[in-house]
Structures are given as C-alpha cells and as structure tokens.
Structure 1
Amino acid sequence: MYFESFEALLNMSGHGVYVWSSLAVTLAAMLWLVIAPLFKQRALLQEVNRDIQRQQDRERAAKTASLSDSHEESN
C-alpha cells in the first residue's frame, strides 16, 4: 500500500486539503451535470401535460357550447 495509514492518505504530505477539495468539487460538478437535466425534463413534462389538459378543456368547452347552441336553435 502506498500510504502507511488512513490518516496519511487523508493528509497526503500536506496536500490532502487541495486534493480532496478538488475531488469534491469535481464530483459535485459531475453530479450536477446528471441531475440538472433530469429536473428540467420533469418541469418540461409537467408543462406539456398542463398544455394538453388546457387544450382538452378548451375542446370540451367548445363541444359543450356547440351542443347547447344547437339545442337552443331546435327549440
């Protein structure tokens, strides 16, 4: 093994702070590159679902209005 103990691994002859902080920043950036698009995709899918629901509501309202107009004309 390269290091005599776990403490020596963490310390790395005084360079451990720089090594481990750069590793943490790199892992955080990589994690963000995976997670951010997932959140954006979820938001986009919710927006599309809302648009579809609005369109269906409009079509339903137009159909109801058309049926009530035709019913009034026949009376």
Structure 2
Amino acid sequence: MYFESIEALLNMSGHGVYVWSSVAVTLAAMLWLVSAPLLNHRALLKEVNRDIQRQQDRELALKATVPTDNHKESH
C-alpha cells in the first residue's frame, strides 16, 4: 500500500486539502453534467404533455360550442 494509514492518505504530505478538494469539485461537476440534462428532459416532457392537454381541451371546447346540423328540425 502507498500510505501507512488513512490519516496519511487524507493528508498526502500536506497536499491532501488540494487533492481532495479537486476530487470533490470534479465529482460535483460530473454529477451536474449527468443530472442537469435529465432534469431538463423531464421538465420538457411535462411541458409538452401540458401543451397537448391544453390543445385537447381547446378542441373539446370548440366542438361543444359549434352547432351541428343534426339538431335542425325540418318542416
């Protein structure tokens, strides 16, 4: 093993603060690069579903307000 103890691994001869903070920043950036597009994709799908539902509601409302020829009485 390269280090005698966990403390030596974390300290890394005085460079541990820089090494571990770099590791933490890199992992945070990688997590963000993976999760941000997934979250944006979900939000976009929800928005598209809302738009589709609104369009369907408009079409139903339009059909309900347009008079049809079937209800005319012939004399």
TM-score by length of 1: 0.89
Query: What is residue 54 of structure 1 aligned with on the other side?
Result: 54
2:30 matched residue in structure 1: 30
Tell me the number of residue pairs that the alignment of Structure 1 and Structure 2 aligns: 72
Higher helix share: 1
Listed as ranges, the gaps of 5+ residues in structure 1 are none
Percent of residue pairs identical: 75
User: Structure 2 unaligned runs (5+)?
Assistant: none
Q: Does 1:7 align with 2:34?
A: no
2:4 is paired with a residue of what secondary structure?
Answer: coil
Give the aligned CA root-mean-square deviation in angstroms: 1.3
**Inter-partner Cα distance in structure 2 for 1:56 and 1:26:** 46
